[in-house]
């Protein structure tokens, strides 16, 4: 077997730690960085090595993968002084798997190209379950050569991989995904709220509808969590609000009016403001339970 390239993984949070772990299992030498080192300790115990900054991690690897929180974080670690673009060795492949903005993905691609680097914007869908089970859906933007080079890594972390187009296309695809998820989450919660108000057994109702047209990935993944009172984050509310706001901005730039997306953003922003930022997206249920879903966000 050919020697695996060394991979730098920046961002070992809820999803990143599991994704990086799959790369270790697949035999990739790994160097890691996370703002909170303790979140990388499991990977270090398995043989990963520590870097003191994103730029240092990138300087020691042939491939750099990032999974951080917000577009501002992506911009800082890639384009800031001493960052990934500045310090990655010529010929390296840079893969940002954060959900960020298409415009920033294009800027990173342009800056990286000027240094002889290849890039992919490759956000994912599947949440913590997909990350743990290596069943993520990966949506990439970039050139075909970079995508082919990344495929063995993607195969270690996910099960569906698409090259959507050039730089930024992966982020646009992820926005379409988040718009779809926003609608199915509202449907899930309102269906169960209706069943509860009608006096139905929620476990039985969820099981019955799991075999019908109301079923969806969110129905199967998050319905049981709601019914058991589990609102821990598989995907943080604060990150979903960020995604929905990017989707709204991009939609408006395209001349679109998407009232369902606008409603979802208002509801999730209200949940975030009501101490829900660190909860999982299924915690929108709590907003309905409090009867707080009809108010505006002041």
Average pLDDT over residues 8-34: 97
Q: Which two tokens stand for residue 195?
A: 């069943």
- Residue 69 CB contacts under 8 Å (≥ 6 apart), including other chains: 11, 13, 98, 239, 242
Residue 174 annotated to the active site: yes
Question: Does residue 297 have a pLDDT over 60?
Answer: no
Q: Tell me whether residue 211 is exposed, middle or buried, using C-beta atoms within 10 angstroms of its C-beta: 0 to 12, 13 to 18, 19 or more.
A: exposed
pLDDT in tens, 143-191: 999 999 999 999 999 999 999 999 999 999 999 999 999 999 999 999 9
Specify the pTM: 0.92
Average pLDDT over residues 241-269: 97
Q: Which two tokens stand for residue 243?
A: 């995604």
Name the average pLDDT for the chain.
Answer: 96
Distance CA 146, CA 57 (A): 20
Q: How much of the chain exceeds pLDDT 90, in percent?
A: 94
State residue 170 phi and psi, 5-degree precision: -65, -40
39, 174, 242, 273: which one is catalytic? Answer: 174
Decide whether 7-166 matches 172-289 in CATH topology.
no
Degrees to nearest 5, angle at CA 283 with 281 and 285: 120
Predicted pLDDT at 243: 96
Residue boundaries of the structural domains of the chain: 7-166, 172-289
Which fold, 172-289?
1.10.1040
CA distances in angstroms from 108 to 13, 76, 239, 262, listed in the order given: 23, 11, 21, 29
Which fold, 7-166?
Rossmann fold (3.40.50)
């Amino acid at each position: 077997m050919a020697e695996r390239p060394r991979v730098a993984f920046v961002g070992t949070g809820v999803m990143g730690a599991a994704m990086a772990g799959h790369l270790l299992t697949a035999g990739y030498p790994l160097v890691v960085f996370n703002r909170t080192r303790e979140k990388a300790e499991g990977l270090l115990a398995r043989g990963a090595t520590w870097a003191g900054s994103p730029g240092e991690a990138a300087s020691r690897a042939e491939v750099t993968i990032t999974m951080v929180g917000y577009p501002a974080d992506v911009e800082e670690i890639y384009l800031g002084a001493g960052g990934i673009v500045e310090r990655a060795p010529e010929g390296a492949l840079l893969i940002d798997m954060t959900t960020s903005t298409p415009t920033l993905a294009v800027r990173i691609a342009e800056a990286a190209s000027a240094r002889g680097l290849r890039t992919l914007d490759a956000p994912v869908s599947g949440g913590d379950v997909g990350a743990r089970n290596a069943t993520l859906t990966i949506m990439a933007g970039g050139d075909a050569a970079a995508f082919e080079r990344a495929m063995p890594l993607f195969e270690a972390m996910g099960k569906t991989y698409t090259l959507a187009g050039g730089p930024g296309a992966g982020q646009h695809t992820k926005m379409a995904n988040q718009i779809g998820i926003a609608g199915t989450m509202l449907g899930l919660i309102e269906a169960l709220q209706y069943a509860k108000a009608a006096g139905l057994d929620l476990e039985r109702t969820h099981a019955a509808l799991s075999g019908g047209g109301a079923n969806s990935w969110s129905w199967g993944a998050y319905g049981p969590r709601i019914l058991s009172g589990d609102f821990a984050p598989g995907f943080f509310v604060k990150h979903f609000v960020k995604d929905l706001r990017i989707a709204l901005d991009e939609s408006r730039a395209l001349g679109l009016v998407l009232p369902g997306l606008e409603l979802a953003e208002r509801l999730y922003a209200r949940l975030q403001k009501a101490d829900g930022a660190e909860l999982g997206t299924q915690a929108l249920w709590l907003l309905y339970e409090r009867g707080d879903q009809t108010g505006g966000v002041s």
